[in-house]
Structure 1
Amino acid sequence: MSLSLWLSLVAVCALGAMSPGPSLALVLRHTLGGGRASGVSAGVAHAFGVGVYALLTVWGLGALMARQPLLFQLISWAGAAYLAWLGIQALRSRPGEFIEPQQQATARLRAARDGLLVAFGNPKLVVFFVALLSQFVTPDLGLAGKLIIVLTAMLIDASWYVLVALTLSNSRILPLVRRQAHWLQRLTGVVLLGLALRVVWGVL
């Protein structure tokens, strides 16, 4: 893969990662509730899910999935249900509800689980990769080229969400944000529920 083609791939992946959606809302929620480690865990796990979808695309399975309406619909419904559950959890959060130090390990595992499941439950990732990444997958593309595509997608996604978590958890920023964390959690819950409804509306 040439440098110019790889830079185009980086730009495409960066635009996809930075677009607002359930993934960003998830990383924000876990960073506010559990701190830097939870936010980073959610972001890295999400990137792993992105890498799986990228791998499916370079193997040609992503296109097959996109052509199967029933499979796509099932993934959409499952993703919408999980987003709705996360939204309800955020709306039920109590003022001053943060993760205690002894609960950090559990919080990181929960954040990683949510990041992974949000990535897997987002069928638009399939459409994104099939529509955009497939242009970089040529018949003569070797194993090294496919690995470059997968790793680039993963690293760009992880870098963006880790940057979001690190910025938000800055020692000067986090206390200020946490003063309004209850309302931010409520707002995140509304956003997640709205995204779940949008997914359902798109499937109907």
Structure 2
Amino acid sequence: MTLAAWLALAGVCLLGAVSPGPSLAVVLRHTLNHSRAHGMAVGVAHALGVGGYALLSVTGLAALFAHYPLAQQLLGWGGAAYLAWLGIKALRSEGSIGPSGTGSVGQHWRQAARDGLMISLLNPKLMIFFVALFSQFVEADTPFWVGVVMVLTPTLIDGGWYCLVAVLLSHRSVLERLRARAQLIDRVTGVFLLLLALRVVTL
């Protein structure tokens, strides 16, 4: 893989990562409701899910799954159900922000990691995206190291972007403004997630 090819791959992955979506909403919610570290935990877990899809795509398994629309549809419905569940949780939230929320610290960490991982794993569009993207770079004699680079590139870009978002959102000057509007943010996030879930089901 040439430097130009890698830059093209990295550029597409970066554009995909920064596009607003449910992942950004989940990072926002955990950062505001708990801490910067919780938002980063969502980002790292989300990146692991992205890396899993990238690995499946490079090894050819995603291309095999693409031939079975029912499996793709079931995964899409599962993703829609999870988005709806997150949306309902956000709508029912009282907008409390800070580490003093209900539940143990361990529960908060597990919830953050789970939400980040599931929001990526239950997104079948990631599979389609990587199959389409990697088909431009993978050949029959692609070296092993190229495959490793292709998996690590979107994984690190995705995790790095959402960790940066968590850091920026938790900056004191930004966080204080957001804290004052915590309940409104939760309501908007909940509606956004429910609309996304509805869109997945109706497509």
Structure 1 length-normalised TM: 0.95
Aligned to 1:159: 160
Q: Which residue of 2 aligns with 1:42?
A: 42
TM-fit CA distance, 1:104: 3.3
Q: Which moved more, 1:72-81 or 1:171-180?
A: 171-180
Hey, what's the Cα distance between the residues in 2 that align with 1:99 and 1:182? Answer: 16
SS in 1 for 2:93: coil
- Does 1:124 pair with 2:125? yes
2:77 aligned with 1:60: no
Q: Report the CA distance shift for 1:50/1:75 in structure 2 as closer, same or farther (over 3 A).
A: same
Structure 1 distance, partners of 2:36, 2:149, is 29
Which residues of structure 1 form unaligned runs of 5+?
none
Deviates more, 1:174-183 or 1:85-94: 174-183
Residue 13 of structure 1 corresponds to which residue in structure 2? 13
- Preserved CA contact (<8 Å) 2:31 2:37: yes
Establish whether residue 178 from structure 1 lines up as the match of residue 176 from structure 2. Answer: no
RMSD: 1.3
Which segments of structure 1 move beyond 3 Å, counting only runs of 4 or more? 101-105
Deviations 1:79-118 (A, max 9, x none): 0000000000000001435432883332122111000011
Tell me the secondary structure at the aligned position of residue 78 of structure 2: helix
2:203 aligned with 1:196: no
* Secondary structure, counterpart of 2:168 in structure 1: helix
The AA in structure 1 aligned to 2:152 is: L
| Aligned partner of residue 136 in structure 2, secondary structure | helix
CA contact (8 A) 1:58 1:137 kept: yes
Q: What whole-Å deviation, never above 9, does each CA across 1:152-195 have from its counterpart, x for those lacking one?
A: 11000001101111000112211211110110011000000000
In 1: Cα distance, 2:185 partner to 2:95 partner: 11
In the alignment, the residues of structure 2 paired with residue 97 and residue 172 of structure 1 have an alpha-carbon distance, to the nearest angstrom, of: 15
Partner of 2:28: 28
Please identify, of 117-126 and 128-137, the stretch whose mean Cα deviation from structure 2 is larger: 128-137
Q: Distance in 1 between matches of 2:36 and 2:161?
A: 14
Partners of 2:117 and 2:168 lie apart in 1 by 21
Task: Identify the residue that residue 70 of structure 1 maps to in structure 2.
Answer: 70
Partners of 1:99 and 1:107 within 8 A in 2: no
Structure 1 counterpart of 2:50, one-letter code: V
Measure, in 1, the Cα distance between the counterparts of 2:43 and 2:135: 24
Question: In structure 2, what is the Cα distance between the partners aligned to 1:75 and 1:112?
Answer: 20
Instruction: State the distance in 1 between where 2:163 and 2:95 align.
Output: 25
Unaligned runs of 5+ in 2: none
Higher mean C-alpha displacement, 59-68 vs 144-153: 59-68
Give the structure-2-normalised TM-score: 0.95
Amino acid at match of 2:187: R
| Contact 2:62 2:127 (C-alpha < 8 Å) held by counterparts | yes
| Amino acid of the structure 1 residue aligned with 2:156 | L
